[in-house]
Homo-oligomer: A and B are copies of this chain.
């Protein structure tokens, strides 16, 4: 009964935040160490969708958010510039930049594409010089439209020639990991990426399909009885039993994940075979010797009591980045990644087949 009540909120939270953290990791990966700012609030799916996305994007690898509320609630660094409408509310762009510089003298990034991007960069340089006379340095310029490769190179050249080599070029405008990769190939002179819509909605795949399944239930004597659904779609057949989820590391590198019945822990055998349930010919054999084994499941509630120390968001982010770094780069490339070995321990695989075939009235 309790599990049934928790099913829906847990799935909502796990599905969405895992999705966005993954998307953020892909984008940060494409940015190759550049700063990535999450700019998604205006296009996110609901106000809480935006907050949850900001949190997950930071964990996944973003460096800051433009969502001030997310910053306040979760302790995420906040970052942003002014709007086009700020510029348009003044008689001239130069006047608008000066007013902005007067308010934020030491954190000025000027949005330069409201009227004419080249002139915008020149105006930013003018106000940057005025700031410098007062002892401040502008942070940089942001370009939000047009050909980002061309204009970033132009802005870089103008800034360098004017004596502002430290000023960064920030780019935004429907960016995602594919466009960032393309701009990198074109040698765009962009040091900071503002990514909004495509990140916070996971635009190219806006839902993750994790589901809730009953895999075991206690009988009257308190023994666990494995349960299996018998769907017409193989994808929908659950994995019966009470499971542990293990990740194997070799010299710091993640080499495979394995589900095993919890009752078979601690590991006894010297070798293990991990079988992909959707393609049983895909198998990974592991020798235990020299492998580090980490349990991926951690108890949070036991008998109604929370038994878990909640880490702060910076620790969660650090752990995520450390785990991501443990996967070989071949698993992380954006096109045709090498599939990470992942599956069922051989006995669990056989239990599942037995139960499915028994439910169909057939032998193995």
Contact = CB atoms under 8 A, between A and B. Distances in A.
Nearest to A114: B229
A53 interface: yes
Contacts of A8: 41-42
A295 to B, nearest CB: 24
Which of A47, A51, A359 has most B Cβ within 10 Å? A47
B115 A359 contact: yes
A311 interface: no
B83 A4 contact: yes
A296 interface: no
Contact of A206 (B45, B51, B114, B117): B45
A207 B201 contact: yes
Contacts of A15: 42-43
Interface stretch (A230-238, A249-257, A314-322): A230-238
Contacts of A232: 113, 117, 145-147
Interface residues of A, number: 58
Interface string A203-239: 1001111011110010000000001011111001000
Given A214-B89, A236-B145, A45 B42 contact: no
B88 A207 contact: no
A42 B4 CA distance: 12
7 contacts: A12-B41, A12-B47, A16-B45, A43-B207, A44-B49, A84-B213, A114-B230
Given A8-B42, A43-B208, A117-B232, 15 more contacts: A4-B85, A7-B85, A43-B207, A46-B53, A47-B52, A48-B48, A48-B49, A49-B49, A84-B214, A85-B212, A88-B214, A89-B217, A145-B236, A201-B206, A201-B207
Interface of A: 3-4, 7-9, 11-13, 15-16, 41-53, 83-86, 88-89, 113-117, 145-147, 197, 201-203, 206-209, 211-214, 217, 227, 229-233, 236, 359
Closest 4 CB pairs of A and B: A48-B48, A146-B232, A49-B49, A46-B49
